[in-house]
Structure 1
Amino acid sequence: MPAGGRPTVRSRRLGAALRRYREAAGLDQAAAAEAIMKSVSKVSRLEGGAVSASALEVRTLMDRYGLQDTDERARLERWARSSNERGWWLDYQDTVRPDYADHITLENDSTYIRSWEPALIPGLLQTPEYAEAVIASGPTFIAPERIRQLVKVRQERQRRIEGGGTHFTAIIWEPAITALADAPKYCEAQWMRLIEAGQRQNVTVQILPESASMAAGMSGAFVAFSFGVEPNVEAVTVRNVANTTVVESVEDLSVYVNVFDQLRSAAMSPEASTKHIRQLINNQQRN
Structure 2
Amino acid sequence: MPAGGRPTVRSRRLGTALRQFRQAAKLDQLQAAEIIAASQARISRLESGHVTARVIEVRLLLDAYGVTDPEVRAKLEDLAKHSKKRGWWLEHAEHLRPDYLDHIALEDDATYIQEWQQALVPGLLQTPAYTEAVIQTSPTYMAPDRVARMIEVRQARQAKIEEGGATYSVIIWEAVITHPLVSAEVHREQLSAILAVGKRKNVTVQVLPFSVGALATVTSAFSTFSFDSEPAVQAVALENLRGTSVLEDPDDLVAYANMYDLLRSSALAPDASAKLIRNALLNIEEDRL
Q: Deviations over 1:217-250 (max 9, x none)?
A: 1101011111111111111111123211111111
Please state whether the residue corresponding to 1:121 is helix, strand or coil: coil
- Contact in 1 for aligned 2:133/2:182 (Cα 8 Å): no
Moved more, 152-161 or 141-150: 141-150
Matched residue count:
287
Aligned to 1:143: 143
Q: Distance in 2 between matches of 1:166 and 1:103?
A: 15
Aligned to 1:37: 37
Aligned to 1:284: 284
Alignment of 1:152-191 (within 5 A): 152-180=152-180, 183-191=183-191
- Contact in 2 for aligned 1:29/1:44 (Cα 8 Å): yes
Aligned to 1:48: 48
Please state whether the residue corresponding to 1:238 is helix, strand or coil: strand
Q: Distance in 2 between matches of 1:59 and 1:120?
A: 44
Q: Which amino acid aligns with 1:246?
A: V
- Contact in 2 for aligned 1:45/1:51 (Cα 8 Å): yes
CA-CA distance at 1:26 after TM superposition: 1.7
Aligned-pair identity in percent equals 51
Q: Distance in 2 between matches of 1:139 and 1:8?
A: 31
Aligned to 1:272: 272
Q: Distance in 2 between matches of 1:171 and 1:50?
A: 35
Moved more, 223-232 or 179-188: 179-188
Please state whether the residue corresponding to 1:211 is helix, strand or coil: helix
Q: Deviations over 1:134-170 (max 9, x none)?
A: 1222242211111110110000000000000001111
Moved more, 93-102 or 172-181: 172-181
CA-CA distance at 1:182 after TM superposition: 5.8
Mapped pair 1:14 → 2:14 = yes
CA-CA distance at 1:133 after TM superposition: 1.0
TM-score normalised over the length of structure 1: 0.97
Moved more, 272-281 or 152-161: 272-281
Q: Distance in 2 between matches of 1:148 and 1:242?
A: 22
Aligned to 2:211: 211
Please state whether the residue corresponding to 1:23 is helix, strand or coil: helix
Moved more, 206-215 or 194-203: 206-215
Q: Deviations over 1:188-208 (max 9, x none)?
A: 210111111110011000000
Please state whether the residue corresponding to 2:116 is helix, strand or coil: strand
Q: Distance in 1 between matches of 2:224 and 2:274?
A: 23
Which 4+ runs in 1 deviate beyond 6 A? Answer: none
Moved more, 154-163 or 2-11: 2-11
Q: CA RMSD in A?
A: 1.3
Q: Distance in 1 between matches of 2:207 and 2:257?
A: 18
Q: Distance in 2 between matches of 1:233 and 1:136?
A: 34
Q: Which amino acid aligns with 1:33?
A: A
Alignment of 1:203-282 (within 5 A): 203-282=203-282
Q: Distance in 1 between matches of 2:261 and 2:249?
A: 19
Q: Which amino acid aligns with 1:70?
A: P
Please state whether the residue corresponding to 1:94 is helix, strand or coil: helix
Q: Which runs of 5+ in 2 are unaligned?
A: none
Aligned to 1:111: 111
CA-CA distance at 1:286 after TM superposition: 2.4
Change beyond 3 A, Cα 1:19–1:128: same
Please state whether the residue corresponding to 2:85 is helix, strand or coil: coil
Q: Deviations over 1:75-103 (max 9, x none)?
A: 11111112111110010012111010000
CA-CA distance at 1:209 after TM superposition: 0.3
CA-CA distance at 1:174 after TM superposition: 0.4
Q: Distance in 2 between matches of 1:52 and 1:98?
A: 19
TM-score normalised over the length of structure 2: 0.96
Mapped pair 1:24 → 2:11 = no
- Contact in 2 for aligned 1:14/1:80 (Cα 8 Å): yes
Q: Distance in 2 between matches of 1:181 and 1:30?
A: 55
Mapped pair 1:86 → 2:81 = no
- Contact in 1 for aligned 2:225/2:236 (Cα 8 Å): yes
- Contact in 2 for aligned 1:18/1:47 (Cα 8 Å): yes
- Contact in 2 for aligned 1:215/1:262 (Cα 8 Å): no
